Chain A
Amino acid sequence: MTTQFPPGIQLEKEDERIMTLNIGPQHPGSGHMRLIIKVDGDYIVSCDPDPGYVHRGEEKMAEHRNYLLNIPHLERPVIHDSCNILYPYCLAVEELLGTEVPERAKYIRVIASELNRCVYTMYWLGIYGIFLGHSTMFMWPMADRELLIDLLEAMTGARVTHSFFIPGGVRNDVPPNFEDRVLRQLSYFEKRLKEYEDIFYQNPVLKSRTEGTGILSREDAIRLGVTGSVLRSAGVDFDLRKKEPYDVYDNIDFETQVLKEGDSYARSRVPYLDMLESCNIIRDALTKMPTSGSVRVKLKPNPKGSADEVYRRVESGRGSLGMYLVSNGTPQPYRLKISVGSFRNIICLPYLLKGELLGNMPAVYWSLNYWPVEADR
Chain B
Amino acid sequence: MSTIVGIIKALNSGVKHLAVKRFTLRYPEEKLKFVGDGYQYDPVSGVAIAGYKGRHMLFHDKCTGCQLCAIACEGVAEAIGMVKVDNKWKQNKKAILPQIDYGKCVFCGLCVDACPFYALYMTNDYELSSFTKESLIYTPAQLAVKAHMNQDVQIAISKRGASHSAELPAPLKKALPPAQPQLESKLKETQEDKEKADDKGDTHG
Cβ-defined contact, A176 with B176, below 8 A = yes
Q: Does B76 make an interface contact (CB < 8 A)?
A: yes
Contact B76 A185 (CB under 8 A): no
A203 to B191 Cα, complex, angstroms: 63
B89 within 8 A of A: no
Would A195 and B13 be within 8 Å (CB), given that A179-B174, A180-B171, A204-B7 are in contact? yes
**B52 part of interface (Cβ distance < 8 Å):** yes
A270 to chain B, nearest CB (A): 21
Whole-angstrom CA separation of A296 from B52 in the bound complex: 19
Contact indicator A176/B180 (Cβ below 8 Å): yes
Please, how many angstroms separate the alpha-carbon atoms of A91 and B36 in the complex?
30
Q: What chain B residues lie within 8 Å of A185 (beta carbons)? A: 155, 157
Q: Residue B157 contacts which of A72, A188, A207 (CB distance < 8 angstroms)?
A: A188
Give the residue name and chain of the B residue nearest to A202 (CB).
Answer: B6
What's the minimum C-beta distance from B192 to chain A, rounded to whole angstroms? 24
Known: A157-B50, A171-B48. A198 touches B10 (CB 8 A): yes
B178 → chain A closest CB, angstroms: 4
Q: How many A-B residue pairs have CB under 8 A?
A: 132
B49 at the interface (CB under 8 A from A): yes
Fill in one digit per residue for A157-189: 1 if any B CB lies within 8 Å of its CB, else 0.
Answer: 110010100000001111111111001110010
Decide yes or no: A184 and B157 within 8 Å by CB, A163-B109, A204-B2 being known contacts.
Answer: yes
**Cβ 8 A contact of A178, one of B3, B51, B157, B176:** B176
In the complex, whether A153 has a CB less than 8 A from a CB of chain B is: yes
Tell whether, in the assembled complex, residue A66 and residue B75 are in contact, meaning their CB atoms are under 8 Å apart. yes
Please measure, in the bound complex, the distance between the C-alpha atom of A176 and the C-alpha atom of B49, giving whole angstroms.
Answer: 10
Shortest beta-carbon distance from B7 to chain A in Å: 6
- Which residues 26-53 in B have Cβ within 8 Å of A in the complex? 32, 34-36, 38-39, 45-53
Distance in Å from the Cβ of A169 to the closest Cβ of chain B? 8
**How far does the alpha carbon of A177 sit from the alpha carbon of B173 in the complex, in Å?**
11
Are A294 and B47 in contact (CB-based, < 8 A)? Answer: yes
B10 touches A202 (CB 8 A): yes
- Residue B179 at the A interface, CB < 8 A? yes
User: Chain A: interface residue count, which band?
Assistant: 35 or more
Q: Mark B164-205, 1 if CB is under 8 A from A, else 0.
A: 000001011011111110000000000000000000000000
Known: A173-B179, A296-B46. A157 touches B39 (CB 8 A): yes
**B24 to A: closest C-beta gap in Å:** 8
Spot the interface stretch: A40-48, A142-150, A303-311. Answer: A142-150
A140 to chain B minimum Cβ distance, whole angstroms, is 9
Contacts of A199 in B (CB 8 A): 10, 13-14
Q: Which residues of A approach B to under 8 Å, CB–CB?
A: 64-66, 68-73, 136, 143, 146-147, 150, 153-158, 161, 163, 171-180, 183-185, 188, 195, 198-200, 202-205, 207, 291-292, 294-298
Task: List residues of chain B with CB under 8 Å of any chain A CB.
Answer: 2-3, 6-7, 9-10, 12-14, 23-24, 32, 34-36, 38-39, 45-53, 72, 75-77, 106-110, 113, 122, 155, 157, 162, 169, 171-172, 174-180
